[in-house]
Amino acid sequence: MMSRRCKVKVSFRENDISEYIESFTYSDNTDFTDDISVVLSDKDRFWSNKFFPETGDILTAEIQVCNWNKTGDNRSIKLGSFEIDNINYSITKLTLNAVAVPIFSSIRDEKNYKTWENIKLSVIAKDIAKKADLSLIYESDDDPEYDKSEQSNEADLFFLEKLCKGEGMSIKISGKQLVIFDEAKYDTLPPVITLESGKSYFYGYPTFKRNAKNIYSGCEIKYFDSKTDKTYTGIFNAPNMKNVKKILKLQEKFNSKTDTIDYNKKAKARLREQNKKECTASVKLKGDVIYFAGTNVELKGFYKFDGKYNIQSCNHSISRSGYIVSLNLRKCLEGY
């Protein structure tokens, strides 16, 4: 087998600065924004002079692997563009931290008031994305419609995240894109790889956690509408939860036409959000460009902890020591 190699390509002001990289970390998350951290050598004072970066400057990054798992296994992933939001400098090193969300955008911090009427979730998301200079990727078969939804002293990203969670969806920002996706649908996708005890290249042993607190066997939602003088109820019972006897009972108001709301679906989304972190795991292993937040892996040879897990976050770390990826996982939910 030919020599296995890994390379990070980073561009700054349209110049390839890969030769200066001492270490590189890419953090990919299902529920927030992606970010990178780059440590650059500055022994010849290149960076401390006229090329010193400014807050808001753009970095683009790509990870390349060559002869990775076998001869001819050459692959790469383009991570997109990131805006520098934090700079640390010492005599010989420059550390740049950059995020995928535009740092001068109001999407994260500026609190707004707005009333949305007779509008679909995808349209709200598109308006917020456009305002932040992001493109929208809407990956869901469902597009809930609201007769009235009020944004009251809330940042755009927080407001949109709240709406999405209420519908059983997740939101993240990656590569100048605002992505909304259906977590339940992602859980049904096949694993990208099987990680087997004694065979896969782990660093240390995976750690597992089973959380019994705040885990429920079912959810019941009730809403009394004074306009119609009716009480609307939604019920969903989780499969394979015979030993759990707790019911999550909620009273909520939904800003939509009550006659068209599927309250059972609402109950299912609320229960899923509550139960999805019952079984979690953390692993560290040989790096590869196949690992992304939102994709699934299969764990095998860990007995009670075997099964399909969804990647909630992953860190790709590349330095002279090699290429290592750290994964935070949650077990995929079946039936909801």
- Give the model's pLDDT for residue 67: 92
Instruction: Tell me, yes or no, whether 12 lies in a domain.
Output: yes
Instruction: Tell me, yes or no, whether 106 lies in a domain.
Output: no
Instruction: Tell me, yes or no, whether 104 lies in a domain.
Output: no
- Give the model's pLDDT for residue 104: 64
- Give the model's pLDDT for residue 101: 74
Q: CA 206 from chain center: how many Å?
A: 21
Same domain, 46 and 118: no
> Which amino acid, 208?
F
272 to 25, 88, 170: CA distances (angstroms): 31, 41, 12
Instruction: Tell me, yes or no, whether 105 lies in a domain.
Output: no
Same domain, 55 and 120: no
Instruction: Tell me, yes or no, whether 30 lies in a domain.
Output: yes
325: tokens are 């990826």
Instruction: Tell me, yes or no, whether 54 lies in a domain.
Output: yes
Same domain, 204 and 175: no
Residue 233, pLDDT above cutoff 70: yes
Same domain, 24 and 71: yes
CATH number at residue 46: 2.40.10.10
> What digits encode the pLDDT tens for the residues 112-155?
899 988 889 999 999 999 988 889 999 998 898 888 888 889 99
- pTM here is 0.89
CATH number at residue 309: 2.40.30.150
Q: Average pLDDT, stretch 85-103?
A: 88
Same domain, 15 and 91: yes
Same domain, 11 and 94: yes
Same domain, 145 and 50: no
- Give the model's pLDDT for residue 46: 82
Same domain, 204 and 224: no
Q: Give dist(CA 220, CA 80) in Å, integer.
A: 42
Same domain, 199 and 230: no
- Give the model's pLDDT for residue 145: 85
Contact 145, 256 (CB under 8 A): yes
Instruction: Tell me, yes or no, whether 63 lies in a domain.
Output: yes
Work out whether the CA dihedral 191, 197, 202, 204 comes out positive or negative: positive
> What digits encode the pLDDT tens for the residues 268-302?
989 999 999 899 999 999 999 999 999 999 999 99
- Between the two ends of the chain, the Cα-to-Cα distance in Å is 45
Instruction: Tell me, yes or no, whether 242 lies in a domain.
Output: yes
Structural domain count, the chain: 4
Q: Are strands 218-225 and 247-251 parallel, antiparallel or unpaired?
A: parallel
- Give the model's pLDDT for residue 63: 96
Residue 14, pLDDT above cutoff 90: no
Residue 183, pLDDT above cutoff 60: yes
- Give the model's pLDDT for residue 195: 97
Same domain, 204 and 290: yes
- Give the model's pLDDT for residue 44: 80
Domain of 242 in residue numbering reads as 218-275
Same domain, 199 and 311: yes
CATH number at residue 143: 3.55.50.10
Q: Give dist(CA 72, CA 60) in Å, integer.
A: 26
Same domain, 200 and 128: no
Q: Give dist(CA 134, CA 13) in Å, integer.
A: 20
Domain termination site, one of 182, 201, 231? 182
Q: How confident is the model at residue 236 (pLDDT cuts 50, 70, 90)?
A: very high
Domain termination site, one of 99, 132, 157? 99
Domain termination site, one of 275, 300, 323? 275
